[in-house]
Amino acid sequence: MARQGVGRLSHSVCLVLTCLSLALHLILALFCLSVLQTSCVIPPPSSCSSSLSFPGTVPHGKQGRSHSLSSQSSSHKLPVSRMNGDFTKMAAHIDHKVEASFNIVNEKEKDKKLIQTKMATKVSQRISSRSKLEALFSHPLYNLPRKHLLEDDWLLKLNDKSSEDSECEEDGYDRANWTRSADTHPAWLRYHLGISRWELYDRNDPSVAEVTQQMATQRILSAVQKSGGTQLKLIMSFPNYGQALLKPMRQERDAETDFNLFYFSDFERHNAEIAAFHLDRVLGFCRIPPVVGRLINITTEIRAITTDHKLSRTFFTSPVGNLCFHGQCEYYCSTENPVCGRPQVLEVSLASMLPDLSLAPRRSWRSPWRRSYSRTKLAPWEKNPDYCDTVKQTPPYNQGTRLVDLIDMVILDFLMSNMDRHHYETFEKFGNDTFLLHLDNGRAFGRHSVDEPSILVPLRQCCRIRRSTLMRLRLLSLPGFRLSDVMRESLSQDPLESVAPLLSVQHLSVLDRRLKTILQAVHTCLEHHDDVIHDDLQGYDVNLYRH
C-alpha cells in the first residue's frame, strides 16, 4: 500500500510538473510571437499632416507609438526576474534578440523622422518665403496713398460710341461687344485704360493677373515678326484681340555671358524679361508691362499660322531632328544662330503690348549715361567724374522728378546687371512730368559671378535718390523681407517655373550682394552731400513707413 501511495504521488507530481512545463512553454511562445510581431510592423504611409510637420515636433500618432515601444523595451525584462534555471537563460537570450530588434526599429524610425524633418524644412522654407512676399506687399511702403488723378492724368479715354457701334467680329476672334462698362472689356483693355501719369499699372489691379494668365493659356491666332531691333522678336495675337511680344529661348538659363564678349554682343534671354518684370514689381516701380513665360509648339503655334512669308522661309530641321527657324534681323538671325525647339516645343517670354502708337504715342529719350557701343571709345561720363553736374543743368533733368526717375531705372539695371540701357521711353501725352518705361530687358541677368560697377555711376555721380525708393531698398535688405527670398517666391508664380527655376540660385543670391552695394553707395553720398534725398513722402508721417 505504501508503495502504491508513493507511486500515485510521484505520478501526480510528474503530471503537475508536465502541466507547469507546458504552461511555461506556452507563455514563452506567446511572448516570442508578440515580440516578432512588434519588430516586423510596417510603418503606415505618412499622411499630409505628418509630411507637413516641422522640425522639433512629433506628428500626431507617432508620439503614442514611440511611447509604447519604449514602454515595451523597458518592461519586457520584468518577467525574467521571476524565472530561474535554464528558462532564465533562454529568456535572457531572447531578451538580447528583442533588444536588437528594437534597435533596428528605432534606427528605421530615426531615418524616417530624418526624412520627414528634411521634407518639413523644405515646406517651412516655402511657407516662410511665401509669407515674406505677402508681408512685403502688405507693408505701408507698398501701400502709399495714391495721388489724386485728374481727367488728363489718364492715358486713354473711352469714346462715346454706343455698343452697336463697337460690335465687331472677325474670323477666329471673339465677338467684340464692348461698351463703356468695364465688365464688357477684355483684361488687356482694362489694363490699358488703367495706365496713368504716375504708373503703368496698379499692383492690386486684378486685370494685370488676368493679362498674364491669358497670355500663358489663350489660343494663338497669329504670329508675325516684329520689324526692327537687333534680335528676333515675334508679335503674337490672341482671340480677344490682345497681343504680346514674344522672345524665344536662345541659351540655357544658367549659362553666363562669355567674359570675352562686349555687352552689346550677347543673346537676349527670355527668362531675363520675365525676371525683370517681377523685380520691377518687387521694388515697387510697376513700370514694366506684364510678362509671363510659356511653352509653345513651333509647328502649330508659329509655322502653321504665320502670314509672314519672310519668317516662314526660315524654318528648317536640324541634324538631330529639332525644328528651327531664325527670321530676319540685324544680328543673330541666320542658320548659325537659329531658334530651335525640343524637338518642337520652345520656351518663350510673352510681354503684353502697350497701347498702339496711334492711340498713345511714345517719345524715345537717349540716356545721358548711354554707353559708346564701341570697342575702343569711352563715353563722356566715363571720362568726366563731374559729368552729372552738366546733366543736372540740362532739361528735362533740371526740374521735376526726371533725374530720380532715371536713378530708379539705374538701380533696377544694376541689380539685374543690364548694361544695355541706351534709351528709355515715356508717353508723349504726359510731357516731362511722368514715369519712365523700363522696356527691353533681354540682356539682363547675364552674369552672376561679377557685378558691373559702371551701371551704378549715375547714382554715384549725382547722389540723388527718392526717399520711398531708399526706404524700400532698406526694407528689402532685412532678413524678414530679403530680396532674394521674395524674388524666388514671386518667380514661382510663373508657369515656366514648373519646368526649371527661372533664375539660378547664384542669380538670386547675387541680388542681396548688389543691394548692399547700392545702399553703401547711398551711405557714401549722405556722408559727403546734403541734398541727396528727394522727399517724395513729404506730407506723410514717415514714421508710419519705417521698418
Which residues are marked as active site?
A: 420
| β-pair type (234-237, 243-248) | antiparallel
| Residue of 160, 187, 162 whose CA lies nearest to 174 | 187
352 annotated as belonging to a binding site for a ligand: yes
**E strand or H helix that includes residue 458:** helix 457-462
268 annotated among ligand-binding-site residues:
yes
Per the annotation, does 73 bind a ligand?
Answer: no
Terminal alpha carbon distance of the chain: 108
| 531: nearest Cα among 473, 462, 439 | 462
Residue 222 contacts residue 336 (beta carbons within 8 Å): no
**Could you identify the residue written with the cell 492715358?**
155
In this structure, what are the phi and psi dihedrals at residue 332, rounded to the nearest 5 degrees? Answer: 60, 25
Distance, CA of 189 to chain centre: 26
Q: Which three cell numbers stand for residue 141?
A: 511702403
Annotate 327-347 with b (16+ C-beta within 10 A) or e (fewer): bebeebbeeeebbbbeebebb
- Give the closest residue to 412 by CA, choosing from 217, 227, 282, 244: 282
CB atoms closer than 10 angstroms to residue 123:
14
User: For the sheet containing 339-340, what is the strand order?
Assistant: 316-317, 323-325, 339-340
C-alpha cell at 318: 536640324
Q: What angle do CA 364, 365, 370 make, to 5 degrees?
A: 125
Question: Within 13 Å, how many C-alpha atoms sit on residue 414's CB side?
Answer: 25
- The annotation status of 226 as a binding-site residue, yes or no, is no
Torsion sign, CA atoms 148, 151, 157, 160: positive
Write the Ramachandran bin of 80: left for phi over 0, alpha for psi from -120 to 50, otherwise beta: alpha
In angstroms, rounded to a whole number, what is the distance separating the alpha carbons of residues 300 and 302?
A: 6
| Burial (0-12, 13-18, 19+ Cβ within 10 Å), 222 | middle
Cis bond upstream, residue 458 (ω within 30)? no
39 is in an annotated binding site: no
**Is 354 marked as binding a ligand?**
yes
Q: How far apart are CA 71 and CA 200, in angstroms?
A: 67
Q: Is 351 annotated as a binding residue?
A: yes
Which 8-state DSSP code applies to residue 299?
Answer: I
d(Cα 521, Cα 456) in Å, to the nearest integer?
A: 9
Query: What contacts 24+ positions apart, CB below 8 Å, involve 393-396?
Result: 394/368, 395/432, 396/432
Binding-site annotation, residues for Mn(2+) = 268, 440
Binding-site annotation, residues for ATP = 231, 247, 268, 351-354, 425, 440
